[in-house]
Amino acid sequence: MINETFVASDPKSAYDQAVEKYGTDLRIVSAKQLKYDDGALRCEVVIAVPKELFMERSFGPLSLEEHRSEEEELLSELGELKAELAQMKEGLLGDDADTDASEAVMEEVKALFMRKGISRRWLDDVASLLVGTSVVEEKELLVSYLLEEIDESLKVRGEMLDKPKVMMLVGPTGVGKTTTIAKLAARYAYLLEKPYKVALFNLDSYKVGAIEQLEHYADIMQIEHHSIATVEAFNEKLEAFEDYDVILVDTAGMSPYDTQKFIKTVEFVNSNVQMQIEVDLVLAATVKYEDMEDIYKNFSFLNPDSVIISKFDETKHFGTLLNFMLLYKLPMSYFSVGQEVPDDLLPASKEYLLEHFIGDVNEG
């Protein structure tokens, strides 16, 4: 039998390539996902096919003399291989023992990270690159490696206030969008090296008291505040406020199943205006694993530019949140770490998030 490797973005596509070349007369030897030098993840499927089929499909039909020559060469190679196997026989038992020990370490560490909220899907992708290395031989070394990979994979989006923009905050119901907008408004208007010209727009006509709450914050900070009901009015207001540095927009909280609110928010996001509209997804640090996929499926259609993480003060377990950031590769921009306006808002930091997660891992 001859082994041949097929590479594609997913296992099925790689296998389909093999079937297209050889038909179904083949055997899968292995399938694994690898990170290439360009940073892309690709799947390699290794298949075994009869030597004659391999030669025919790769080089065309062989003559009788060529067949005999190939058979003689194969018999010679088999003799050499048998000799090598005889020499390695004793060492194989020791290698198997080492492999078993490494697999045990790998599974123990994976189990620890999964208990803390990191998915097996992400762990398997990273661990597949470590097979056969010394990293998997020691638990502490493997834990350190995974933490470094988490650090490398997380993305942070810094403050960008070099040109006027609209920041539209979207997210599930009850994540704290309105309070976060008040914190951002105070930060931009009063707490940075230079004061920025800030206005507040409210599109949330669903939540009882939402308009009054944001208006209260605006009055305290002496910032312009407007409640807007239609896309046309939104466009008109944006044109009227085009000389402002930042316009912060509060939207209605949406469940992943609220199609009406979702469609209306999409209409606002797609407004044809001169100012840049930045979409920021507000996500609670208390997000449940079961809700992550629904949240992403819903709000990914808005093409969020960043994630603002709220309710840091309401949990000590950050694995599920980390898992969301790792799987969906969205950059973080701010952390809301308490209830005080404007103090409890921090620019996003990998170090801050990892310190909290590592404390949770150490407890495990």
Same-domain pairing of 253 and 358: yes
**Residue type (1 letter), 247:** I
CA torsion angle for 258, 264, 267, 271 (degrees, to 10)?
-130
Asked whether 202 and 225 are in contact (CB, 8 A), the reply is: yes
Q: How many domains does the chain have?
A: 3
Per-residue pLDDT of the chain (364 residues; tens, 9 = 90+): 778 888 887 767 777 888 888 887 677 776 676 766 666 777 787 888 887 777 777 766 655 455 556 666 666 666 666 566 555 544 444 455 566 788 888 899 999 999 988 989 899 988 888 877 888 888 888 888 899 999 999 999 999 899 999 999 998 888 989 899 999 999 999 999 999 999 999 986 655 555 688 888 889 999 999 998 888 888 899 999 999 999 999 987 776 556 566 667 777 877 777 778 899 999 999 988 878 878 887 788 788 999 999 999 998 888 899 999 998 889 999 999 988 888 899 999 999 999 888 876 666 5
Same-domain pairing of 170 and 290: yes
Same-domain pairing of 180 and 34: no
69 part of a folded domain = no
* Tokens of residue 82, six digits: 């048998």
Same-domain pairing of 295 and 199: yes
Query: Residue 301: what pLDDT?
Result: 77
3-state secondary structure of 42: strand
68 part of a folded domain = no
Count of CB atoms situated within 10 Å of the CB of 180: 25
334 part of a folded domain = yes
Residue 254 buriedness (CB in 10 A; 0-12 / 13-18 / 19+)? buried
Asked whether 229 and 144 are in contact (CB, 8 A), the reply is: no
Query: Residue 255: what pLDDT?
Result: 65
Domain end residue (candidates: 61, 81, 108): 61
Same-domain pairing of 225 and 287: yes
75 part of a folded domain = no
86 part of a folded domain = no
**Residue type (1 letter), 241:** F
72 part of a folded domain = no
Count of CB atoms situated within 10 Å of the CB of 34: 13
Same-domain pairing of 255 and 330: yes
Give the DSSP H/E element, type plus range, for residue 41. strand 41-49
Asked whether 323 and 119 are in contact (CB, 8 A), the reply is: yes
**What range defines the domain where residue 127 resides?**
93-153
d(CA 105, CA 140): 10
Same-domain pairing of 328 and 243: yes
* Tokens of residue 199, six digits: 């206005």
Query: Residue 196: what pLDDT?
Result: 96
Same-domain pairing of 38 and 185: no
Same-domain pairing of 199 and 340: yes
Query: Residue 81: what pLDDT?
Result: 65
Same-domain pairing of 118 and 233: no
Same-domain pairing of 299 and 332: yes
Query: Residue 90: what pLDDT?
Result: 47
Same-domain pairing of 185 and 262: yes
Asked whether 175 and 310 are in contact (CB, 8 A), the reply is: yes
344-347: long-range pairs with CB below 8 Å, 24+: 344/183, 344/313, 345/180, 345/183, 345/184, 345/187, 347/158, 347/159
d(CA 170, CA 178): 10
84 part of a folded domain = no
199 part of a folded domain = yes
Query: Residue 94: what pLDDT?
Result: 45
Count of CB atoms situated within 10 Å of the CB of 208: 7
Give the DSSP H/E element, type plus range, for residue 349. none
Question: Can you give the CATH number for the domain in which 187 is found?
Answer: 3.40.50.300
